[in-house]
A = this chain, B = another copy of it.
């Protein structure tokens, strides 16, 4: 299964039998609204806390993905999920609701692809017939925990990003029809010494570049192999830096195939500063938009490079720089 230093090639090509994306009111007004399975007008989802609202988003994405795969909860052997909340409570409380044996993961906003990569290893190695991979984030829950409560109305610089309110889930199986996971490149932690939590895109760009380079080195293929190479949530600032760095390193990715989930998800006129971010950013854009495009025959091969900033408010207060990571998963149909 290992190829090169850090890439897994899945010879059985685990199939995504069903996937779902759930979003909030801001995503409902976004550029990819029609690719969401469920959209909520109420940021609270009828709950009495933002954290419970996030759990609800993830529960719905999981239940929808299972349903779309034509399965029942009892058929699913393992659930892998991660989120940004302290002690990843959104994932763990969703695992309580689902009752499926559970493996919590944490890679900050790269969690969706970390979960999908590990789920693919499990399915590829005959460790399960059906595995569910999920991830979630909620704008208001994240703002409250990492920054200032939204109610404070604090100003943000133009490099800041907007956390996606949503959740995505994919149900992987041994066989059947649908897009297939063909390989995954697991990233190293890269830290270039940046320490501004309002410029995560710039901090994460070198990690995305490191993983993209590793992927093409390990796979011995050319970027033109893919119809789309999408970073997770670098946003406009970080994505430009990543493109420049790749060009500098001599890896040419045609501009028309190199994009970012955080740029795609919202409309240009939405006040999202540099673009979307959060675990739900790559999760909803991949499990909603991109997989729909694959099922429609518009895309055949995609590489999702989910990026994560592994800081905590405490590590920031203690003057640490921001360690970043990116995991790449290729999906083909």
The residues of A with any CB-CB pair to B shorter than 8 Å are: 1-2, 5-6, 8, 49, 51-52, 77-78, 82, 84-89, 92-93, 95-96, 99-108, 114, 118, 121-122, 124-129, 186-189, 191, 310-315, 318, 320, 323, 325
Q: State which of B78, B114, B318 has its C-beta within 8 Å of the C-beta of A103.
A: B114
Chain B hits for A121, CB < 8 A: 121-122, 125, 127
Minimum Cβ distance to chain B for residue A321 (Å): 9
Contact indicator B52/A318 (Cβ below 8 Å): yes
Contact indicator B101/A87 (Cβ below 8 Å): no
Chain B hits for A87, CB < 8 A: 84, 86, 106, 108, 310-312, 315
Chain B hits for A8, CB < 8 A: 127
Contact indicator B323/A95 (Cβ below 8 Å): yes
Q: State which of B89, B105, B125, B188 has its C-beta within 8 Å of the C-beta of A312.
A: B89
The listed residue with most B CB atoms (<10 A of its CB), out of A96, A99, A124, is: A96
Chain B hits for A122, CB < 8 A: 121
Contact indicator B88/A189 (Cβ below 8 Å): no
Contact indicator B107/A313 (Cβ below 8 Å): no
A325 to B187, CA, bound (A): 28
Contact indicator A314/B188 (Cβ below 8 Å): no
A128 to B121, CA, bound (A): 11
Contact indicator B102/A105 (Cβ below 8 Å): no
Q: How many copies does the complex hold?
A: 2
Chain B hits for A189, CB < 8 A: 92, 95-96, 99, 102
Q: State which of B99, B104, B129, B310 has its C-beta within 8 Å of the C-beta of A106.
A: B104
Contact indicator B89/A106 (Cβ below 8 Å): no
Contact indicator A188/B100 (Cβ below 8 Å): yes
Q: State which of B1, B77, B84, B314 has its C-beta within 8 Å of the C-beta of A6.
A: B77
The closest CB in chain B to the CB of A185 belongs to B101
The closest CB in chain B to the CB of A92 belongs to B310
The listed residue with most B CB atoms (<10 A of its CB), out of A95, A127, A314, is: A127
The listed residue with most B CB atoms (<10 A of its CB), out of A103, A313, A320, is: A103
Contact indicator B310/A89 (Cβ below 8 Å): yes
The listed residue with most B CB atoms (<10 A of its CB), out of A77, A114, A124, is: A77
Contact indicator A318/B2 (Cβ below 8 Å): no
A8 to B77, CA, bound (A): 11
Q: State which of B2, B6, B128, B191 has its C-beta within 8 Å of the C-beta of A96.
A: B191
